[in-house]
Amino acid sequence: MPEPVFRENVTIITGASSGIGRELAYQLADQGAWLVLAARNLEALESAAEICRQRGGRAIPVKIDVSDQGQCQRLIQRTVDEFGRVDTLVNNAGITMWALFENLPNVDLIEKIMRVNYFGSVYCTHYALPYLKQARGRIVAVASLTALSGVPTRTGYAASKHAVKGFFDSLRIELAGSGVSVTISYPDFVATGMRQRAYGADGLPLGESPLEESKVMTTETSVRSLVRAMERRKREDKQNLRGKIGPWIKMIAPGLIDKIARNAVRLDEG
């Protein structure tokens, strides 16, 4: 039996306290990965790290707000101090919104989302890149289908994910020949709890999901697809039919894609 791809692979996962990040930590721990789990909720990180150790990996929790450049720099340094290298960086930390743009009292929420979702990924990648080049490692960006098409009530979120796609697509070209791969993942609706924490027009978390969570993809299924893409150093991880055929339909019938996006969201709750 071949050795697992991520055995003793030093992997940083941002947004690792819940959802996709936490499940990714578990699945990589099953392979024996050496994990650095980063997020704002230290208690949740410590719990996740302990479970990762029980499943066969090594793991350390690091409390961090990725919107702070200095904290991102310290995250990378903490990883190098602990493990001596960085093999994989997974930029997963993110926040979202569920509100019509016209209902926002100001653009503070848009700026907050951009700082976390986009600049957080840029900061971590900037400081990790020299080590990733030494290791001929992997960069992974967890985007969203909203990186490929606009979605009502998610203007700021979609903008941040479009920025993530543009940045990492460009970086991939720059890194050609370096040995560093860049994978962008495009999950659809996944049962991560993220929508319960989504910000409404008042700038406060909704507290409940506007969707029927039992009908969306499970976190385990989403992460299995992501891990396969990471193992194979794929350019993209599109996890369902909507992600795979949507861009093609958009080229020939963009109005249809707009209609589908509108029907997928209850605008009366914006």
Q: pLDDT digit string (tens) for 41-69?
A: 999 999 999 999 999 999 999 999 999 99
Most confident by average pLDDT, 54-68, 94-108, 136-150, 235-249: 54-68
- How many angstroms separate the CA atoms of 187 and 199, rounded? 20
Q: Report the percentage of the chain scoring pLDDT > 70.
A: 82
Residue 198 confidence (pLDDT) above 90? no
H or E segment and range at residue 12: strand 10-14
Architecture of domain 10-269: 3-Layer(aba) Sandwich (3.40)
Backbone angles phi, psi at 268, to 5 degrees: -70, -10
Question: Active site includes 199?
Answer: no
- How many angstroms separate the CA atoms of 41 and 39, rounded? 6
Output the DSSP codes for 121-170: HHHHHHHHHHHHHHHT-EEEEE--GGGTS--TT-HHHHHHHHHHHHHHHH
- For 178-195, what is the mean pLDDT? 83
Average pLDDT taken over every residue of the chain: 89
- Catalytic site residue from 26, 118, 127, 157: 157
**Number of neighbouring beta carbons within 10 Å of residue 44:** 16
pLDDT, position 56 = 98
CA 221-217-208 angle, 5° bins: 130
Q: pLDDT digit string (tens) for 212-259?
A: 545 568 999 999 999 999 999 999 999 776 666 666 566 676 776 677
Q: pLDDT digit string (tens) for 81-91?
A: 999 999 999 99
- 3-class secondary structure for 174-198? HCCCCCCEEEEEECCCECCCCCCCC
- For 161-170, what is the mean pLDDT? 98
Residue 269 confidence (pLDDT) above 50? no
Distances (CA, A) of 75 to 60, 80, 136, 181, 193: 11, 9, 20, 21, 25
Output the DSSP codes for 31-60: TT-EEEEEES-HHHHHHHHHHHHHTT-EEE
Q: Which residues contact 86 (CB under 8 A, 6 or more apart)?
A: 10, 12, 76, 79, 80, 128, 131, 132, 135, 137
Q: Report the percentage of the chain scoring pLDDT > 90.
A: 71
